[in-house]
Amino acid sequence: MHKVQAVVVKAKNAPVTVETILVPDPRPGEALVNVLTCGVCQTDHHYVEGGVGDDFPFLLGHEAAGLIAAVGDGVTEVAVGDAVILNWRAVCGQCRACAKGQPWYCFNTHNATQKMTLEDGTELTPALGIGAFAEKTLVAAGQCTKIDGGLTPEQYAAVGLLGCGVMAGIGAVLNTAQVQRGESVAVIGCGGVGTAAVAGAALAGATTIIAVDLDDEKLATAKRFGATHTINSCAQDPVEIIRGLTGGFGADVVIDAVGIATTFKQAFEARDLAGRMVLVGVPAPGTTWEIPLDEVFGRGGAIKSAWYGDTLPSRDFPMLVGQYRLGRLDLDGFVPERISITEVEEAFEKMKAGKVLRSVVELAPAPGSTATAVSGQTEPVRVPR
């Protein structure tokens, strides 16, 4: 059992607090991770607000990078000292989606079976099955995706964001929309996920990339990540301008990174005939839009939603880390500030005010080499049942 410091919320809309928690050694199929960095994501604040359930207290944090500290019996995909990015969709390999060769849709993803607790024994619910605002966390081994190590602290802070928001935006473009070289892409909403979608469109080779938002600062950021045109929808009709920038036809792909009825309608109307639109912004429960079926039929194409960017972590994380190392994907630009574990509450306020793309909590210094990071061990530590 390990005593570590972690960020917890004990009741709906309560301030987050730093608590001592107990993290058990891994059992079969589980992995213990020394967390290096973890991004502050909107989803974590949804937990604080009670928007993801009422199983308080919650152990927050999920956009994380770290090093494997120990593995349980039967774990072969990762070993002690491996650098990993954590994910919240550990595929089962057996459900009907996995059996069809579509593991990114896995309908039976899993987490660690043991519970982390407060010192008094109160069980914690880890955010997205991860709980990484903690010096150590316990996850299912399948939630750990091995990457090449030897990164600097700044690089760990950047690649850890692939664990959620950045991957959701990039994946919506690369996987869900399957943007091709030379296509036109419009992204409505340029928060963290939308800006990642802009970066994904640039990575895919889109030649016209249109960013839409209400905030000029966010639009300026989108330009830095590859947007060729920007539209402030407070002053202009985005549908009209998008059509004007695409020969009067509309974009090949439109990404709705907001998830409200207004932006969904704009995305639907701003796409070309046979174009694709992708909803990656998470709608509030009960959000509706009255769909004119004759227009759905007449426009053709596809209306899709992106689940975590239809991401398969074992395929996508190493590939995108490789693109980052080659200088083709600016993950560093998503990390304007690195903070301590005691500053998460303030980071939530900055996030809500739209002042930062991501604050990243640094929980431990990154080692110079993952080969000697954990007691100099190179073989897996097996923890018996």
pLDDT one-digit tens code per residue, 59-116: 999 999 999 999 999 999 999 999 999 999 899 999 999 999 999 999 999 999 999 9
- Same domain for 31 and 152: yes
Alpha helix segments (H runs only) across 270-312: 293-299
> What's the rounded mean pLDDT across residues 314-323?
96
Asked whether 381 and 71 are in contact (CB, 8 A), the reply is yes
In this prediction the pTM is 0.91
Percent of the chain whose pLDDT exceeds 90: 86
In the prediction, which pLDDT does 216 show?
96
- Same domain for 143 and 74: yes
Tokens of 211: 């960013």
- Same domain for 47 and 31: yes
- What single DSSP character describes residue 250? -
149, pLDDT greater than 90: no
Structural domain total, the chain? 2
Q: Is 171 inside a domain boundary?
A: no
In the prediction, which pLDDT does 265 show?
96
Among 230, 234, 259, residue whose Cα is nearest residue 242: 230
Q: In the block, which residue shows the tokens 């407070």?
A: 234
- 153 prior amide bond cis, ω within 30: no
Report the C-alpha gap between 305 and 172 in whole angstroms: 8
163, pLDDT greater than 50: yes
Q: Is 320 inside a domain boundary?
A: yes
CATH number at residue 87: 3.90.180.10
pLDDT interval class at 368 (50, 70, 90): low
In the prediction, which pLDDT does 373 show?
34
In the prediction, which pLDDT does 305 show?
96
Among 41, 4, 9, residue whose Cα is nearest residue 21: 4
- Same domain for 244 and 107: no
Last residue of a domain, one of 259, 280, 305: 305
Q: Is 80 inside a domain boundary?
A: yes
Q: Is 173 inside a domain boundary?
A: no
Strands, sheet with 125-126, edge to edge from the N-terminal-most edge strand: 117-118, 17-23, 2-9, 58-59, 125-126
> What's the rounded mean pLDDT across residues 362-375?
57
> What's the rounded mean pLDDT across residues 221-227?
97
H/E stretch holding 252: strand 251-256
Average predicted confidence (pLDDT) for the chain:
92
In the prediction, which pLDDT does 326 show?
95
- Same domain for 151 and 182: no
Owning domain of residue 54: 2-164+311-383
In the prediction, which pLDDT does 150 show?
84
More confident residue, 280 or 365: 280
